[in-house]
Amino acid sequence: MKERRSKIVAMSAYSSGRTESVTMTEELIDGFVEELTEKGRSQESLKNYRAILIGLYEFLPEDKRLDSESTGNWRRWLKESGYSARTINSRISALNSFLQYLGRREWQSDEFHYSNEDTQPELTRAEYVRLLQAAKASGRERSYLLIKTLGGAGVRIQELPQLTVESLVRGRAQLKCHNTDRVMHIPEPLRRELLDYARREGIKEGPVFVTQEGSPLIRSSVWHYVNIVSKDARVDEEKANPRCLWKMYRSTFAGIRSGIDLLIEQAYERMMEEEQLAVGWER
């Protein structure tokens, strides 16, 4: 196992063209998980490690170069994306274990985060709907659209300037946040509302959410537009912000994905049972 690992890591380091970096591959992740399996880690832990490392893999630039700079960028991105201290720490711990597997302890981090974020109440889907209703009832269209864009479509606050009229016409937006590029499908109901809003506001190109002078909204203005309807919506002020909207969006998707994964596992097990009936060893 150690000989195979050394060979894989050496090949990855060579392919990156830099001895001080490693090209992260799915084969490396598989090898790491295989080693954890041999150490007797639970299936739940294995799934968690794999999911974290796949997330890191998707975060890395196209060359998938893993080094002290890229790992540092990932840790900063986790913090700036509004993850709880507990979540950040679990991801850093997984990264440290992976780096130890690669023989790159010099890239490990001993910086862990401590805060009261884990006890902070989270925004529920029902509260999100109440925010939309309150914004609509008070005629605050911009607040309504910002809440729906951040919480309904999962656009990060840093990505708002990249949501343009052109992207609405295409129905998808090319978004970049730090070193992560992604193509986001814009849900049709939101796309129609944003296009109508842009037309009435005379915004023919560029960012959808802008000031009267045409500049993209700054972070504090976005927070204000989201928070201003919290009282009428009967939602705690500390919940009515872009960070909580993003966390709610992620939680919603995670719940849906978990349900889908369970259905896939059940369908696969049924298939295995049918094959067992046909060609099982039992007599």
Residues forming beta bridges with residue 172, ordered by sequence position: 185
Q: What is the pLDDT of residue 46?
A: 86
Over pLDDT 70: what percentage of the chain? 88
Q: What is the pLDDT of residue 18?
A: 43
Q: What is the pLDDT of residue 140?
A: 96
Higher pLDDT, 212 or 84: 212
Between helices 68-80 and 85-102, what is the axis angle to 10°?
170
Q: What is the CATH number of the domain that holds 195?
A: 1.10.443.10
Q: Please give the model's pTM, rounded to 2 decimal places.
A: 0.56
pLDDT digits 0-9 by tens, 172-210 = 998 887 667 788 899 999 999 999 999 999 999 999 999
pLDDT digits 0-9 by tens, 56-72 = 999 998 889 999 889 88
Q: What is the pLDDT of residue 16?
A: 43
pLDDT digits 0-9 by tens, 6-46 = 445 544 544 444 457 889 999 999 999 999 888 887 788 88
What is the residue range of 215's domain? 125-250
Residue that the structure tokens 């913090």 belong to: 79
Number of domains observed in the structure of the chain: 2
Say how far apart CA 3 and CA 52 lie, in whole Å: 25
Has residue 74 got a pLDDT over 50?
yes
Is the residue at 90 inside a domain?
yes
Whether 166 and 91 map to the same domain: the answer is: no
Q: What is the pLDDT of residue 10?
A: 47
pLDDT digits 0-9 by tens, 94-124 = 898 899 899 888 888 776 655 544 445 689 9
Q: What is the pLDDT of residue 30?
A: 92
Cβ–Cβ contacts within 10 Å for residue 231, how many? 12
Q: What is the pLDDT of residue 177?
A: 73
Whether 18 and 92 map to the same domain: the answer is: yes
Q: What is the pLDDT of residue 11?
A: 47
Say how far apart CA 84 and CA 115 lie, in whole Å: 8
Is the residue at 269 inside a domain?
no
Quick one: which of 172, 180, 138, 176 has its CA closest to 160? 176
Q: Which positions ≥6 away from 283 have C-beta within 8 Å?
A: none
Say how far apart CA 283 and CA 220 lie, in whole Å: 71
pLDDT digits 0-9 by tens, 244-272 = 998 899 888 888 877 888 888 888 888 88
- Region of 18 please: left (phi>0), alpha (psi -120 to 50) or beta: beta
- Region of 207 please: left (phi>0), alpha (psi -120 to 50) or beta: beta
Is the residue at 241 inside a domain?
yes
Cβ–Cβ contacts within 10 Å for residue 155, how many? 26
Q: What is the mean pLDDT of residues 119-146?
A: 91
Whether 138 and 56 map to the same domain: the answer is: no
Q: What is the pLDDT of residue 162?
A: 92
Q: What is the CATH number of the domain that holds 46?
A: 1.10.150.130
Has residue 225 got a pLDDT over 50?
yes
Is the residue at 256 inside a domain?
no
Whether 174 and 87 map to the same domain: the answer is: no
Is the residue at 149 inside a domain?
yes
